């Protein structure tokens, strides 16, 4: 087996993809946990969020880095951590444990620093400790930025933890020629752009108005029983028994909703039966049956 190993330095993009996948895995597991506890009264997950995250991360660490020398994302992308210059070995046990501590324990400590200070009984030094922690935080962030720039230049040690421990992601096997097809991506981008355009333009079109225009000018007029001056007892818009009947001065009746919504959407709306125009909103009035 040993002679088949042929370490080659990992590509920057693979390393970045791997770390992206790793954080995604933690998010997915946390989302599942949240779903389980959704109907739980006292929200345990919120109170113990740092601990829950630490437990999830340590479980992941136990079954990935500890066993396989690589994180989940790295396994998917066929990467492995190498801690030595020897061709046949990967991370040492010490590196695995220290890496786990940095990944799991440090973020937890950062979240729980305040309660720990009180717990240990160092409340009188609280201000100084807080100040120190803030400076530590800022300098670590700065160092992370510098480290990342160096990583982009050299392609080694994506995080400070990796640099400190001297572990670097490697391809365990010789890589074939990478073939990337951008055909699908272009198609996807095209469709994405098209749908964005549609979503932007569709709300700008007044469909009610278009519909009324087509009805007035394109569709054939059908027989109108109101031509003889008889009152038609159905809504001229929806052709159903009118709800809260309204009239506009012609022999037709309308539902309150039908006539108001059409007139609001299209001020040029005319009666679909006899093409009578509605001059103002006051012309729409409730229909009172004349009992003779």
Residue 263 CB, shortest distance to Zn ion, in Å, is 13
Task: Report the relative pairing of strands 285-286 and 246-247 from DSSP bridges.
Answer: antiparallel
Residue 235 CB, shortest distance to Zn ion, in Å, is 3
Query: How many Å apart are CA 210 and CA 75, to the nearest integer?
Result: 56
Binding site for Zn ion (CB under 5 A): 235, 237-238, 250, 252, 255, 258, 271, 273-274, 276
Residue 180 CB, shortest distance to Zn ion, in Å, is 58
Identity of the residue, 43 or 275, whose beta carbon is nearer to Zn ion in the bound complex: 275
Residue 264 CB, shortest distance to Zn ion, in Å, is 15
| Nearest residue to 9 via CA among 233, 172, 134 | 172
Identity of the residue, 43 or 277, whose beta carbon is nearer to Zn ion in the bound complex: 277
Identity of the residue, 16 or 274, whose beta carbon is nearer to Zn ion in the bound complex: 274
Angle at 85 between CA 92 and CA 72, to 5 degrees: 50
Identity of the residue, 57 or 252, whose beta carbon is nearer to Zn ion in the bound complex: 252
Exposure of 145 in the CB half-sphere (CA atoms within 13 A) = 5
Residue 240 CB, shortest distance to Zn ion, in Å, is 6
User: Which residue is listed with tokens 């103002």?
Assistant: 280
In Å, what is the CA distance from 159 to each residue of 98, 108, 140? 14, 18, 11
Identity of the residue, 108 or 257, whose beta carbon is nearer to Zn ion in the bound complex: 257
Residue 212 CB, shortest distance to Zn ion, in Å, is 14
Q: Is 191 exposed, middle or buried (0-12, 13-18, 19+ CB in 10 A)?
A: exposed
In Å, what is the CA distance from 148 to each residue of 49, 57, 198? 28, 23, 40
User: Which residue is listed with tokens 């809504």?
Assistant: 235
Identity of the residue, 162 or 247, whose beta carbon is nearer to Zn ion in the bound complex: 247
């Amino acid at each position: 087996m040993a002679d088949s190993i042929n370490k080659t330095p990992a590509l920057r993009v693979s390393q970045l993809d791997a770390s992206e996948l790793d954080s995604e895995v933690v998010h997915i597991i946390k989302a599942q946990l949240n779903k389980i506890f959704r109907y739980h009264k006292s929200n345990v997950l919120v109170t113990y969020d740092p601990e829950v995250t630490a437990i999830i991360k340590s479980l992941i660490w136990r079954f990935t880095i500890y066993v396989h020398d690589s994180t989940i994302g790295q396994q998917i992308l066929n990467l492995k951590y190498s801690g030595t210059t020897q061709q046949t070995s990967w991370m040492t046990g010490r590196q695995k444990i220290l890496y786990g501590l940095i990944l799991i324990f440090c973020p937890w400590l950062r979240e729980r620093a305040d309660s720990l200070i009180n717990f240990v009984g160092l409340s009188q030094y609280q201000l100084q400790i807080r100040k120190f922690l803030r400076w530590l935080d800022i300098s670590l962030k700065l160092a992370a930025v510098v480290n990342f720039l160096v990583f982009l230049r050299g392609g080694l040690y994506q995080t400070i933890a990796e640099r400190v421990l001297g572990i670097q992601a490697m391809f365990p096997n010789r890589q074939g020629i990478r073939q990337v097809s951008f055909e699908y991506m272009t198609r996807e981008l095209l469709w994405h752009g098209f749908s964005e355009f549609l979503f932007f333009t569709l709300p700008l079109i007044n469909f009610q108005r278009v519909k009324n225009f087509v009805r007035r000018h394109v569709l054939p007029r059908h027989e109108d029983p109101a031509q003889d001056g008889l009152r038609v007892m159905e809504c001229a818009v929806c052709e159903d028994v009118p709800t809260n009947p309204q009239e506009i001065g012609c022999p037709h009746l309308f539902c309150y909703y039908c006539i108001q919504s059409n007139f609001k959407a299209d001020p040029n709306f005319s009666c679909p039966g006899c093409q009578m125009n509605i001059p103002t909103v006051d012309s729409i009035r409730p229909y009172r049956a004349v009992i003779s």
